[in-house]
Amino acid sequence: MVLKELQNIFHIELDAIYGQHEVNSFFYLCTEHYLDIARIQLTLEPELAITKPETETFFKALEHLKQQKPIQYLLGGTEFFGLPFKVNKNVLIPRPETEELVDLIIRGHSQQNKVSKLKILDIGTGSGCISISLAKNLPNAEVYALDISKEALKVAKQNAELNNVDITFIEANILDENCHSALDAESTFNIIVSNPPYVRNLEKQEIQPNVLDNEPHLALFVEDDNPLIFYKAITEFAVKNLKPKGQLYFEINQYLGKETKQLLVDAEFEAIELLKDLNGNDRMLKGTKI
Ligand SMILES: C[S@@+](CC[C@H](N)C(=O)[O-])C[C@H]1O[C@@H](n2cnc3c(N)ncnc32)[C@H](O)[C@@H]1O
């Protein structure tokens, strides 16, 4: 089948769900992934044809996309901070807002990293996107990453190998105080970072069905009556496990900026900053332990 014809079928079937622009980008991601054919090649060779089995692969992908399965799960991978990451249903698909958090940390610590070996802990690592991008861009750092999910940690380990970085992975529940003592053995950290679950059940109606039906709820949701449960536990942990002048970084729920900031104020952190993402929403919080 001629690829251009196939592209038209994608538009006919999917434009109403995703819009023309996004369908084009899905199609090009598929041609790159399944055929190793770049977008430019398709433009230069409009009559480019593919075999029957290759066409069938595209039709299978089309069916999944019609059911709103995220393209990243379909292709088994995505890009974060310019690096390749494997993903599957056990890990959250890394988000652009989280790239902003990583960028903030790298900008804040690259000088310090040249003169001293930073010790970093990422809590709720998922695909490993935060810890791995930090390890890659702060090459002197000693990086630890924890998650409660064995399956997520399997993916994160593959991603560390894929990106050629050395990270110590720990399976632990940050809400369990015993886990805190297990981590004490690792001594104290210069940086603790976390993008923990923060979406309240009451916000579920704002979540796209493709997220709700496919991404792990363990990574996303918290109870309405205690939405800051992870931030409280991690702040408490950071008070004990950050070095003096060590820094705590959070990605946060945009609707709970003030309340999350208050946790750091109450824990006597200094230089606390609540920062907005590119969409103008409260999204990042940082503070320094006295
Ligand atoms: C919002 S996701 C963040 C994943 C990744 N760091 C990112 O930014 O894309 C939250 C992660 O926290 C993990 N998690 C949930 N409950 C946890 C717990 N009690 N202890 C440790 N990790 C937990 C989930 O498995 C998930 O990987």
What does the chain look like in DSSP terms, one character per residue? -BHHHHHHHHHHHHHHHH-HHHHHHHHHHHIIIII---HHHHHH-TT-B--HHHHHHHHHHHHHHHTT--HHHHHTEEEETTEEEE--TTSPPP-HHHHHHHHHHHHHHHHHHHHS--EEEEES-TTTHHHHHHHHHSTT-EEEEEES-HHHHHHHHHHHHHTT--EEEEE--TTSHHHHHHHHTT--EEEEEE----EEGGGGGGS-HHHHHHS-HHHHEE-TT-TTHHHHHHHHHHHHHEEEEEEEEEE--GGGHHHHHHHHHHTT-EEEEEEE-TTS-EEEEEEE--
For residue 131, the ligand 1 atom closest to its alpha carbon is 6
The answer to whether 106 and 134 are in contact (CB under 8 A) is: yes
For the chain, 290 residues long, the average pLDDT of each consecutive 10-residue run is: 96 97 95 93 90 97 96 97 98 98 96 90 98 97 97 98 98 89 77 98 91 95 97 96 96 98 98 98 97
Which of 85, 147, 198, 231 for a ligand 1 pocket mutation test, highest count of atoms within 8 Å of Cβ? 147
So what's the pLDDT on residue 259? 98
| CATH class of the 89-288 domain in this structure | alpha beta
Residue 113, ligand 1, Cβ within 6 A: no
Our answer on whether the CB atom of 196 is closer than 6 Å to any ligand 1 atom is yes
Residue to mutate, 149, 170, 176, 228, ligand 1, most ligand atoms under 8 Å from C-beta: 149
**C-beta of 234 in contact with ligand 1 (< 6 A):** no
Atom index in ligand 1 nearest the CA of residue 176 equals 19
- Count CA atoms closer than 13 A to 79's CA, side-chain side: 5
The response to whether residue 175 sits with its C-beta less than 6 Å from ligand 1 reads yes
pTM as predicted? 0.94
Ligand 1 site, residue 174, Cβ cutoff 6 A: yes
pLDDT of residue 102: 98
Tell me the CA–centroid distance for residue 58 and ligand 1, in Å.
32
Ligand 1 atom 26, closest CA: 219
Q: Which atom of ligand 1 is nearest to the CA of 98?
A: 8
Q: How far apart are the first and last CA of the chain?
A: 65
Q: Is the CB of 129 under 6 A from ligand 1?
A: yes
Cβ(99) – ligand 1 distance below 6 Å: no
Question: Cα(187)–Cα(116) distance, rounded to whole angstroms?
Answer: 16
Compute the distance from residue 98 Cα to the ligand 1 centre, in Å: 13
100 neighbors 252 (Cβ within 8 angstroms): no
